[in-house]
């Protein structure tokens, strides 16, 4: 059994390897680098998935076949974007053309899963995001793109058994250890990703969705997850859910819902891990992190 320090070394090493392979994949660059690296990583992991599908991933945890849900951690988003501020609302990650935001976000999910559990990128990972227009020009709802369940976290705890269980303020029937603090790709409840440090105010998670998992409105998706300028007049403000409940609700918000609680300030990259002073964003603060977060997303595998 690997010790805590060894597991951390493996995770960090995995992140560095993938970072080199992907390059800098986010921000507002119209064609972020890294698409070829993502394909290589996925192909390579696919070839080894048959040997790892019945074993635990590096560092222990759930068997590969169960790992099917997580929130992307700050460290993972920083590594894959090549920026300490993360991707912001532009999630194309090397993809171009219609539907690029969703395809890029799905690639991010697969890459982050692989960083945590080698072989898991061979699964069909989907970001829980809605858009106005997908590849075919039609609206895409987050709830329709993630499979039917059940979904489990990195160490095998149930997040939800069915889609119906997802459509509550907190996932119905989820393991009590994670129901009110959804876990990252390492199975760690995301409010305190480093147990040696204080909890973080990092719960705003991009979805672009209503409480039913459908598109919130046309201004709630950072131009379908392709823009990170920080201009609310043209990009709108992305709708966010909460990985853990808020202490007190803000106007036009829910204090509980994991899918849809309130809008972020804007689409620019940004990280806020401490409570935000009252008064709302100032010029230059129209970013995905303002109010508590870093532009993280939820990731689901189509089949556990």
Q: In the beta sheet, which residues pair with residue 196?
A: none
Res 65: pLDDT = 83
238/248: higher pLDDT: 238
Res 87: pLDDT = 98
Q: What is the mean pLDDT of residues 196-203?
A: 92
DSSP helix/strand/coil, 8: helix
Res 284: pLDDT = 82
| Domain regions of the chain by residue span | 25-44+57-304
Res 55: pLDDT = 41
Tokens of 123: 């699964």
256/37: higher pLDDT: 256
74-81 and 4-22 are packed helices; what angle lies between their axes, rounded to 10 degrees? 30
| pTM for the model | 0.80
Percentage of the chain with pLDDT > 70? Answer: 77
- Residues 167-182: tens digit of each pLDDT: 999 999 999 999 999 9
Q: Measure the CA–CA gap between 124 and 206, rounded to whole angstroms.
A: 20
Residue whose tokens read 């202490």: 247
pLDDT band at 46 (very low <50, low <70, confident <90, very high): very low
- Residues 265-288: tens digit of each pLDDT: 999 999 999 877 777 788 888 999
Tokens of 267: 């689409």
Tell me how many degrees the CA angle 49-32-141 measures, rounded to the nearest 5.
70
pLDDT band at 16 (very low <50, low <70, confident <90, very high): very low
Burial (Cβ within 10 Å: 0-12, 13-18, ≥19) of residue 54: exposed
Length of the chain: 304
Res 86: pLDDT = 98
Q: How far is CA 29 from CA 98, 209, 278, 293, in A?
A: 16, 25, 32, 22
Whether pLDDT at 21 is above 80: no
- Residues 115-129: tens digit of each pLDDT: 999 999 999 999 999
Give the single-character DSSP code of 276.
Answer: P
Res 304: pLDDT = 79
**27's torsion region: left (phi>0), alpha (psi -120 to 50) or beta?**
left
Q: In the beta sheet, which residues pair with residue 91?
A: none
Res 18: pLDDT = 39
Burial (Cβ within 10 Å: 0-12, 13-18, ≥19) of residue 302: middle
Q: Measure the CA–CA gap between 236 and 135, rounded to whole angstroms.
A: 21
Res 283: pLDDT = 81
- Residues 52-96: tens digit of each pLDDT: 333 444 444 557 889 999 999 999 999 999 999 999 999 999 999
Contact 64, 49 (CB under 8 A): yes
Whether pLDDT at 247 is above 80: no
Task: Enter the CATH code of domain 25-44+57-304.
Answer: 3.10.100.10
pLDDT band at 11 (very low <50, low <70, confident <90, very high): very low
Other beta carbons within 10 Å of 43: 11
279/50: higher pLDDT: 279
Min mean pLDDT across 31-35, 192-196, 262-266 is at 31-35
Percentage of the chain with pLDDT > 90? Answer: 70
Whether pLDDT at 15 is above 60: no
């Amino acid at each position: 059994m690997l010790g805590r320090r060894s597991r951390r070394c493996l995770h960090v090493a995995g992140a560095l390897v993938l970072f080199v392979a992907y390059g800098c994949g986010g921000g507002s660059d119209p064609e972020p680098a890294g698409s070829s690296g993502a394909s290589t990583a996925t192909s390579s992991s696919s070839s080894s998935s048959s040997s790892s599908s019945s074993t635990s991933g590096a560092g222990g945890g759930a068997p590969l076949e169960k790992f099917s849900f997580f929130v992307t951690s700050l460290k993972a988003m920083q590594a894959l974007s090549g920026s300490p501020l993360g991707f912001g609302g532009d999630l194309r990650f090397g993809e171009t053309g219609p539907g690029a935001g969703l395809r890029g976000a799905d690639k991010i999910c697969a890459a982050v899963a692989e960083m945590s559990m080698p072989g898991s990128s061979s699964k069909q990972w989907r970001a829980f995001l809605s858009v106005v227009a997908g590849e075919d020009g039609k609206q895409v709802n987050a709830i329709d793109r993630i499979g039917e369940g059940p979904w489990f976290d990195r160490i095998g705890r149930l997040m939800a058994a069915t889609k119906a269980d997802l459509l509550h303020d907190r996932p119905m029937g989820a393991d009590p250890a994670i129901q009110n603090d959804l876990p990252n790709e390492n199975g760690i409840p995301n409010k305190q990703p480093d147990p040696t440090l204080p909890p973080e105010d990092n719960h705003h998670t991009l979805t672009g969705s209503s409480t039913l998992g459908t598109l919130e409105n046309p201004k709630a998706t950072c131009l379908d997850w392709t823009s990170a300028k920080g201009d609310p007049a043209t990009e709108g403000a992305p709708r966010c859910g909460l990985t853990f409940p808020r202490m007190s609700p803000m106007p036009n918000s829910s204090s509980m819902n994991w899918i849809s609680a309130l809008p972020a300030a804007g689409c620019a990259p940004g990280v806020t891990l401490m409570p935000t002073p009252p008064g709302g964003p100032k010029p230059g603060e129209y970013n995905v992190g303002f109010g508590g977060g870093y532009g993280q997303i939820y990731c689901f595998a189509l089949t556990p």
